[in-house]
């Protein structure tokens, strides 16, 4: 895939010192993991989020929710990072300041080598007591009790350490992501429909702060109009090409 940036954008990329990469489920699509909202195998096309991804659903039928997340955990654990995850991990070395913020809970960015990943919606790799917030590795919790949520010593039930609909995002993660998005020179929005707030607000925050925005998504989104470059392609194809173009810009500035 060949990427052509206009000179004005090349100059902004060349000068960029603070970069935020903001990702959603689309970046893991080529790792074989389903997205949430588009295509026949999208999770919310097959299930109702209110039946599986909310505190009410968990209290109403904890076993069903626990087993579904066990299935999603096993899917993520057996998936491999793809070329997009790897390119995003390598880009950290290109800029003085680089932060990867993800809505994904699959842990594939970390397995691709990204460090200091901000997980706005938590992680499938940990379980957390619904009552006292004590944590345990998800694998250990599932080994202990594959079909029903294990009970915490406080008496509460363990649940996946992900953010469910109606729950608050981890405050420190969101504040850090907002601060960095508002201050960055370049934001890469990769594989997100940008429909779930407050996470989706990061794109506009970066744009308002004067950042150049590059969107990588086969489809248009509500924030496409804010993008200085729209790469209508799969992330696994676009990111290595974008990485090469970014390096090309910056080598010019060496
Ligand atoms: N490469 C890049 N983007 C892709 C690809 C791909 N191969 N395939 C699909 N996409 C795009 C889709 O066009 C869509 O815009 O990825 C986006 C996925 O959007 P969603 O399924 O809505 O996922 P996401 O934006 O991460 O959802 C945000 O919603 O349900 C909650 O907590 C869940 O974190 C999730 C949040």
The closest alpha carbon to 178, from 96, 118, 114, 227, belongs to 118
Domain boundaries, the chain: 1-32+81-121+170-254, 34-78+122-162
CATH of 34-78+122-162, one of 3.30.230.70, 3.30.1600.10, 3.40.50.410, 3.40.50.2000: 3.30.1600.10
The pairing of beta strand 97-102 with beta strand 118-119: parallel
Which residue out of 32, 36, 84 has the highest number of ligand 1 atoms within 8 Å of its CB and is therefore the one to mutate? 36
Q: Does residue 102's CB lie within 6 angstroms of at least one atom of ligand 1?
A: no
Q: Does residue 195's CB lie within 6 angstroms of at least one atom of ligand 1?
A: yes
The predicted-structure confidence for 210-246, as pLDDT tens digits, reads as follows 999 999 999 999 999 999 999 999 999 999 999 999 9
Instruction: Round to whole Å and give the CA distance between 192 and 19.
Output: 17
Q: Percent of the chain scored above 70 by pLDDT?
A: 99
pLDDT score recorded for residue 252 = 62
Q: Which of 85, 109, 121, 125 is labelled catalytic?
A: 121
The closest alpha carbon to 214, from 242, 181, 251, 237, belongs to 242
Instruction: Round to whole Å and give the CA distance between 105 and 122.
Output: 6
Under DSSP, is residue 131 helix (H, G, I), strand (E, B) or coil? coil
pLDDT at 55 over 80: yes
Q: Write down the mean pLDDT value for the chain.
A: 96
Instruction: Round to whole Å and give the CA distance between 80 and 87.
Output: 14
Q: Does residue 162's CB lie within 6 angstroms of at least one atom of ligand 1?
A: no
Q: Which residue has the tokens 């993660």?
A: 173
Query: What's the topology of domain 1-32+81-121+170-254?
Result: Rossmann fold (3.40.50)
Atom of ligand 1 nearest to the CA of 84: 1
- 1-32+81-121+170-254 and 34-78+122-162 in the same fold: no
pLDDT at 152 over 80: yes
The predicted-structure confidence for 179-215, as pLDDT tens digits, reads as follows 999 999 999 999 999 999 999 999 999 999 999 999 9
Q: Does residue 237's CB lie within 6 angstroms of at least one atom of ligand 1?
A: no
With bands split at pLDDT 50, 70 and 90, how would you rate the model's confidence at 253?
A: low
Active site (annotated) includes residue 130: no
- For ligand 1, the distance from its centroid to the CA atom of residue 37, given in whole angstroms, is 7
Q: Does residue 38's CB lie within 6 angstroms of at least one atom of ligand 1?
A: yes
């Amino acid at each position: 895939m060949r990427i052509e940036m206009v000179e004005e954008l090349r100059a902004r990329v060349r000068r960029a010192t603070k970069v935020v990469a903001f990702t959603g489920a689309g970046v893991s699509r080529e790792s074989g993991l389903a997205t949430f909202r588009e295509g026949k195998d999208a999770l919310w096309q097959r299930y109702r989020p209110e039946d599986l991804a909310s505190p009410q659903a968990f209290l109403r039928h904890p076993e069903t929710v626990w087993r579904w997340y066990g299935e999603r955990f096993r899917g993520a654990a057996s998936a491999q990072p793809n070329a997009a995850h790897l390119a995003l991990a390598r880009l950290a070395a290109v800029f003085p300041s680089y932060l990867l913020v993800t809505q994904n809970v699959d842990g594939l960015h970390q397995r691709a080598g990204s460090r200091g990943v901000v997980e706005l919606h938590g992680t499938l790799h940990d379980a957390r007591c619904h009552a006292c917030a004590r944590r345990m590795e998800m694998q250990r919790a599932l080994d202990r009790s594959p079909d029903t949520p294990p009970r915490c010593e406080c008496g509460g039930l363990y649940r996946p350490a992900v953010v469910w609909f109606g729950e608050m995002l981890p405050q420190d993660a969101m504040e850090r992501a907002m601060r960095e998005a508002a201050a960055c020179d370049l934001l890469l929005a990769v594989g997100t429909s940008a429909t779930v707030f407050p996470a989706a607000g990061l794109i506009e925050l970066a744009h308002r702060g004067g950042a150049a925005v590059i969107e990588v998504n086969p489809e248009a989104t509500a924030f496409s109009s804010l993008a200085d470059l729209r790469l209508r392609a799969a992330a696994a194809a676009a990111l290595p090409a974008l990485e090469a173009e970014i390096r090309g810009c910056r080598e010019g500035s060496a």
